[in-house]
Amino acid sequence: MPTPNPAALDFLLTRRSRPAKTLAAPVPDRAALMRILTAAVRVPDHGKLEPWRLVVLERPALERLAGLAEARARTLGLDDEKTLKGRSQFEQSPLAVVVVSAPKASDKVPEVEQLLSAGAVCLGLLNAALADGWGACWLTGWVAHDATFAADAFGLRPGERVAGILHIGTETTPPPDRPRPDLGRVVEWVSA
């Protein structure tokens, strides 16, 4: 018989990301963040390739990246709304961790499995921060998908891409609940 962990299941059944704009200082110190990061990387990793890496962005780096995002948006000719969104993701964040998908050459583990492992790190990081009592949010946006910005901002190497940018801080406003998926629409049972 399995040994249930009701507290963990209750957490997963009620977890809720916090909107990034509602997060503020204080943030976890390095020791607390290392515990969160340690939990985050306990994910499926076929072949033990560690096909991801983490870039921690503290306030000075976030301030620099806010300006870099605005400059890149202007170069790309983005409208004011997209420019502001890219800038504010860094300007308003008290702390962020960039999860970089860094696939490794492998005959046994397809790249898609490695990318999914990086996505699992994102969710693990989000859940670990929330479980530790912090507010957290997983974002991407154009700043994560623009290869030039991502390379300059996060030091991406050839073949790497941003899987997610996780913002972590103290929750200032409780998030509103939102509708959850209707399992009747998304679950198919196959019995034979």
Annotated binding site for FMN: 15-17, 42, 46, 138-140
User: Which residues are known binding-site members?
Assistant: 15-17, 42, 46, 138-140
Helix axes 147-154 and 59-76, enclosed angle (nearest 10): 160
Closest to 145 (Cα-Cα) out of 84, 81, 98, 188: 98
36 within 8 A of 167, measured Cβ to Cβ:
no
Residue 63 exposed, middle or buried by CB count within 10 Å (0-12, 13-18, 19+) = middle
